[in-house]
Chains A and B, each alone.
Chain A
Amino acid sequence: AQSVTQPDARVTVSEGASLQLRCKYSYSGTPYLFWYVQYPRQGLQLLLKYYSGDPVVQGVNGFEAEFIKSNSSFHLRKASVHWSDSAVYFCAVSYNNNAPRFGAGTKLSVKP
């Protein structure tokens, strides 16, 4: 069965450090790929999305993600995190015209 895996439930980094949040999916084709962020007491907001073209896609607030087809991965990166980046991050995958399926989320805590 198709699935989306975010292997890290929690990640803690220091402010100014680089960040990578991992996402892997199980699907043989090329799906639509999304990263959403959920700030405390708010709904999910889109950070970025990808379907084709340059495998490195830029998003809001300095986030980017790289699609690696051979690894079925779509990891999220940021060069230098800020305390305001503390939130829960969700990877989502859509394929065969189905509604997006979401990973369990990674809670990011940024230490001052």
Chain B
Amino acid sequence: EAAVTQSPRSKVAVTGGKVTLSCHQTNNHDYMYWYRQDTGHGLRLIHYSYVADSTEKGDIPDGYKASRPSQENFSLILELASLSQTAVYFCASSDLWGGNQDTQYFGPGTRLLVL
């Protein structure tokens, strides 16, 4: 069974502070993704990666950095958290590129509240 875990599951951060969200997959997948979900909106792609030590920008990368130190781990970093970054963040992995019909496997999400 494919497994993607995220930590923390929820976090309260202060405006201007640094936040790191972590994702770990045991699927042996090459592709990993970070999405954010806002109430009433679909998931939007922030960053993705297809190999360790390399990351790519998604549709909404501003204010976020990503890090892929190994095939299994993919982090999302908010250097200066802002109120507008309050959202639920999902990590996902896939064996092949998700744009080629490959199934994405999602983690349970991290609820981030920035005050």
Which residues of A pack against B, CB within 8 Å? 4, 6, 9, 32, 36, 41-46, 49, 51, 90, 92, 94-105
Interface size on B, residues (CB 8 A): 25
Q: Is the CB of B101 within 8 A of A51?
A: yes
- Interchain CB contact under 8 A, A90 and B43: yes
Assess the B90–A94 pair: CB atoms within 8 A.
Answer: no
CB < 8 Å: which of A41, A51, A94, A99 contacts B108? A41
Residues in A neighbouring B43, C-beta threshold 8 A: 44, 90, 92, 102
Judge if B74 is at the interface, Cβ distance under 8 Å. no
Could you list which residues of chain B lie within 8 angstroms of chain A, going by C-beta atoms?
Answer: 4, 33, 35, 40-45, 48, 58, 90, 92, 97-101, 103-109
Residues of chain A with a CB closer than 8 A to B101's CB: 32, 49, 51, 94
B99/A98 in contact, CB under 8 A? yes
Q: With A51-B101, A90-B43 known to touch, is A99 a contact of B109 (CB < 8 Å)?
A: no
Q: List 29 A-B contacts (CB under 8 A).
A: A4-B42, A6-B42, A9-B40, A32-B101, A36-B106, A41-B108, A43-B106, A43-B107, A44-B43, A44-B90, A44-B104, A49-B101, A51-B101, A92-B42, A92-B43, A94-B99, A94-B100, A95-B99, A96-B99, A97-B99, A101-B42, A102-B35, A102-B42, A102-B43, A102-B44, A104-B40, A104-B41, A104-B42, A105-B42
* CB-CB under 8 A for A46 and B42, given A99-B33, A99-B98: no
- Are the C-beta atoms of A100 and B108 separated by less than 8 Å? no
Q: Are B58 and A99 in contact (CB under 8 A)?
A: yes
Asked if B109 and A97 make an inter-chain contact with CB atoms under 8 angstroms apart, the answer reads no
B6 and chain A: residue at smallest CB distance: A43
Contact A32 B42 (CB under 8 A): no
The interface residues of chain B lying within 8 Å CB-to-CB of A43 are 4, 90, 92, 105-109
Which 4 pairs between the two chains have the least Cβ-Cβ distance? A43-B106, A102-B42, A102-B43, A44-B106
How close is A55's CB to chain B, nearest CB, in angstroms?
16
Which residues of B sit under 8 angstroms from A102, Cβ to Cβ?
35, 42-44
